[in-house]
């Protein structure tokens, strides 16, 4: 009926268009007026939705730089282009999705505020976005989140609620705030407006470097890599998306293997931003648009982080280094290619260092 090529394409289209209609956010404009005659029209609307999201958020974000390193190129045997979202407002890519989603709330929703739960970067992004837009932000964070991220949330005017470091505790506390404050819950990764906003980082990278063969991204809750998959599909040229994930929190890898959303039994990883799991909105996008996921050891994450600090002369957090760690682990498969790497953030707790 819709002209999809296969079941994955159908899932991809339903997630972006029709399923999204029911999740309680403002509609994606023309995306709900898609014609039913062929898949091409759907693709046009997905592209338009991201273009509109990018246009919407541009006044509120930084257009972050793309950096290179001759020494890292030689180490990998390929040409690398690092999209440095550690220079983004709030110190991470998540400002993009937060602004895109919050700007589309109704007037009544804005008056009552926004609730989210996050280990740090999305918490900061929502707090900063709400501060800029004059909206209350209620932020649930695990007690184990880095203190630098908690301080940033409070510095941006967010009302911080700490909880036990479990997904259940985060969700329960967020629900309590929704029930008592009347605020609107904004999921940090399993919301299409958030996903489209996050994907604009890869969109900018591909507009600057359109001949990239691959884009590597870290994968935690799945919002960044799902948005990257949309961007690669519509703004790249035969560009594949590859995820990097810690062995200690490899639910996304196992989810792609099993075809269902898996959970983590433990999350004992230095990459604190990657401890969350996939959702029912971003998972079909990942199934459709991510070529594969490469898992890395903790020592490989630390080595990659050190290389970024040493060779690019910039600060990145451990979660950001997972993408480079994944490439280094299997660099033999990418010789001579042009590769994009998303450095997702740079919020590091410097109190842990001897300064």
Listed by start position, the domains of the chain span 7-59, 61-91+191-347, 94-185
Query: Tokens standing for 315?
Result: 């600060």
Would strands 114-117 and 184-185 be described as parallel, antiparallel, or unpaired?
Answer: parallel
How big is the CA angle at 5 (ends 25 and 223), to the nearest 5 degrees?
35
- Domain range 61-91+191-347, its CATH number among 3.30.830.10, 3.40.50.300, 3.40.50.1100, 1.20.140.10: 3.40.50.1100
pLDDT, mean of residues 85-106: 95
CATH classification code of 94-185 = 3.40.50.1100
Phi-psi region of 230 (alpha: psi -120 to 50; beta: other; left: phi over 0): alpha
How big is the CA angle at 104 (ends 123 and 341), to the nearest 5 degrees?
55
- Report pLDDT for 144: 86
Cβ pair 50, 231 in contact under 8 A: yes
Q: Does position 9 have pLDDT exceeding 90, yes or no?
A: no
Q: What is the pLDDT of residues 268-326, one digit of tens each?
A: 999 988 988 899 999 999 999 999 999 999 999 999 999 999 999 999 999 999 999 99
Cβ pair 296, 244 in contact under 8 A: yes
Q: Does position 199 have pLDDT exceeding 70, yes or no?
A: yes
- Report pLDDT for 299: 97
Which pTM was predicted? Answer: 0.86
pLDDT, mean of residues 155-170: 92
Q: Does position 160 have pLDDT exceeding 80, yes or no?
A: yes
> Sorting pLDDT into bands at 50, 70 and 90, what band is 352?
confident
> Sorting pLDDT into bands at 50, 70 and 90, what band is 129?
very high
Distance CA 301, CA 309 (A): 12
Element housing 115 (H / E): strand 114-117
Domains 61-91+191-347 and 94-185 share a fold: yes
Residues facing 186 on adjacent strands: none
Average pLDDT in the chain: 87
- Report pLDDT for 46: 82
> What's the maximum distance between 2 C-alpha atoms anywhere in the chain?
63
> Sorting pLDDT into bands at 50, 70 and 90, what band is 177?
very high
- Report pLDDT for 37: 37
Tell me the backbone φ, ψ of residue 249, rounded to 5 degrees.
-150, 65
């Amino acid at each position: 009926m819709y002209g999809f090529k296969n079941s994955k394409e159908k899932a991809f289209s339903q997630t972006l268009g029709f399923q999204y209609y029911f999740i309680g956010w403002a509609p994606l404009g023309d995306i709900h007026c898609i014609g039913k005659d062929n898949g091409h029209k759907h693709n046009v609307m997905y592209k338009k939705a991201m273009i509109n999201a990018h246009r919407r958020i541009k006044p509120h974000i930084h257009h972050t730089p793309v950096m290179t390193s001759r020494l890292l190129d030689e180490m990998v045997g390929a040409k690398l282009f690092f999209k440095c979202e550690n220079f983004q407002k709030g110190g991470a890519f998540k400002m993009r999705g937060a602004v895109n989603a919050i700007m589309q709330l109704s007037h009544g929703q804005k008056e009552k505020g926004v609730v989210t739960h996050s280990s740090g970067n999305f918490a900061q992004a929502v707090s900063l976005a709400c501060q800029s837009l004059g909206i209350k932000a209620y932020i649930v964070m695990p007690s184990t989140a880095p203190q630098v991220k908690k301080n940033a949330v409070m510095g941006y005017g967010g009302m911080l609620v700490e909880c036990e470091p479990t997904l259940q505790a985060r969700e329960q506390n967020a629900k309590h705030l929704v029930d008592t404050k009347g605020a609107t819950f904004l999921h940090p990764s399993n919301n299409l407006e958030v996903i489209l906003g996050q994907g604009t980082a890869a969109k900018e990278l591909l507009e600057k470097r359109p001949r990239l063969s691959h884009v590597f991204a870290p994968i935690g809750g799945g919002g960044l890599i799902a948005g990257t998959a949309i961007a690669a599909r519509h703004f790249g040229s035969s560009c594949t998306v590859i995820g990097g994930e810690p062995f200690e929190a490899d639910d996304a890898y196992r989810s792609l293997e099993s075809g269902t959303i898996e959970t983590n039994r433990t999350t004992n990883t230095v990459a604190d931003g990657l401890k969350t799991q996939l959702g029912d909105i971003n998972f079909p996008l990942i199934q459709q648009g991510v070529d594969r996921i490469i898992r890395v050891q903790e020592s490989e994450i630390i080595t990659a982080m050190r290389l970024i600090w040493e060779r690019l002369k910039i600060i990145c957090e451990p979660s950001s280094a997972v993408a480079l760690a994944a490439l280094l682990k299997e660099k033999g498969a990418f010789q001579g290619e042009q590769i994009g790497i998303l450095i997702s953030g740079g919020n590091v707790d410097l109190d842990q260092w001897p300064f």
